[in-house]
Amino acid sequence: MFQFFKSPFYNFEFIRVLGSSTAQGAEIGECLEAAFSMKAESPGEWFRVWHEMALRVKSLAEKAETMGDYEGARLAFLRCSNYFRASEFFLHTTPQDPRLLDCIEQSVAHFRKAWTFGDHNVETLDIPYVNDTKLPGYLYTPRSVSGSISKPPVIILQSGFDNTQEELYFYLVAGALSRGYAVVTFEGPGQGIVLRRENLHLRPDWENVTGRVLDSLYSTKANHLDLSKTAVAGASMGAYFALRSAVDPRIQACIAIDGFYDLYEVTTSRIPWWFVNLWQAGALPDNIFNNTVALIQRMNFQSDWEINHAMWTFGVESAAAAVREMQRYSLRESDGEEYLSRIRCPVFVTGAADTLYFPPKDNAVKIFANLGQLSAMQKELWIAEGATDGGFQAKIGATGLLHQRVFGWLGKHL
């Protein structure tokens, strides 16, 4: 298959942006110009081309607004928001870089600006969390042709390891709205603007985070939504969060797109087994582990990015601490019991054969197998192969097919 970049990591992230054109998160021509004007596959060049494109499209949006073309302004502000998000992505190897917060703040501001044009049902949420902290969210509600709607069913769409909730609009929200679903997105600890501004870090017991979202909906939005029909969905780490959240009896269906079963096992499977065993046994101290990982990071940018991003989101100071923290992100409980056995609602599980991250055999297939308490009618497994059929991680590049499969399944179970 044609590769825009030599690096599979850069190529995947480019397709991630390009694929959002399905929901008007990008223009193909703008993406191609950004790609082919990049002088090197480096974080600095990636930032430069996408940041320049974001500013250029922002100018188009402002011009459209001045001319009274409010739909043109809305669409350009949406693309501008997505390009600002993309621009800072590879800078996560240095979390102290001020551009990380600045770009996401601009992404959020221009995304919200887009929805001020026209009659669109998008509402910002401040979801009570802990210690007076509020989690930012959006509530999207669909419009019928006649302009009046009955209470719509609800999808709570999880953010994951490295996305923002604004990006989720292009990923799944747009497709849900056109099919009559309301969607709630939010950013929890360790995600998006909450990580960058509040310095809150990820937690493995995500059911307690989604529980706060549900509490807020039940207390303030019950008259707008059919909360008796609430589904939870997520991709990659967001799929793990969705599965954790699906034990809540207020959830009636769960969609887990290309997630992991045990993050520690995924990560250590990429490290020589003997090295991991010696470290686990205490025969290798953390400083040896850290120095060895640092050597790998110098040789492989993807590994460098993943370790630094993990340290940032987990709030730890070393590679050893980050990998040790991953032990907590598992669907196998500490007593050996299966967390998944607690789920009672229907579940749709997907895997990606061409993934960079979570091979289906040890993740999607394992998740599905551990849903033994559900009947064959209550669960479904889809393993995709090839870019056309959704074989890339999170079904990137196959958004239309993803929507068809997800909403086709959800229509039968919600």
Q: Domain residue spans in the chain?
A: 1-119, 121-262+329-413, 264-327
Token duo for residue 299: 């040789």
- Encode pLDDT of 302-338 as tens digits: 999 999 999 999 999 999 999 999 999 999 998 999 9
332 DSSP β-pair partners: 338
- Encode pLDDT of 71-106 as tens digits: 999 999 999 999 999 999 999 999 999 999 999 999
Query: Does 1-119 match 121-262+329-413 in CATH topology?
Result: no
Asked if 22 contacts 171 with a C-beta cutoff of 8 angstroms, the reply is: no
Q: Cα–Cα–Cα angle for 52, 54, 59, nearest 5°?
A: 95
CB contact set of 45 (below 8 Å; sequence gap of 6+): 38, 39
Chain-centre distance for alpha carbon 227 = 23
Dihedral angle over CA of 359, 361, 364, 365, nearest 10 = 170
Q: Note the helical H segments in 174-285.
A: 174-177, 192-193, 207-220, 237-245, 263-268, 273-280
CATH annotation of 1-119: 1.20.1440.110
Q: What is the pLDDT of residue 162?
A: 96
Domain 121-262+329-413 of CATH type 3.40.109.10 = no
- Encode pLDDT of 205-264 as tens digits: 999 999 999 999 999 856 789 999 999 999 999 999 999 999 999 999 999 999 999 999
236 assigned to active site: yes
Token duo for residue 392: 């890339």
Asked if 99 contacts 84 with a C-beta cutoff of 8 angstroms, the reply is: no
Catalytic pick among 159, 216, 236, 245: 236
Q: Please name which of 78, 36, 398 lies closest in space to residue 235, comparing C-alpha atoms.
A: 398
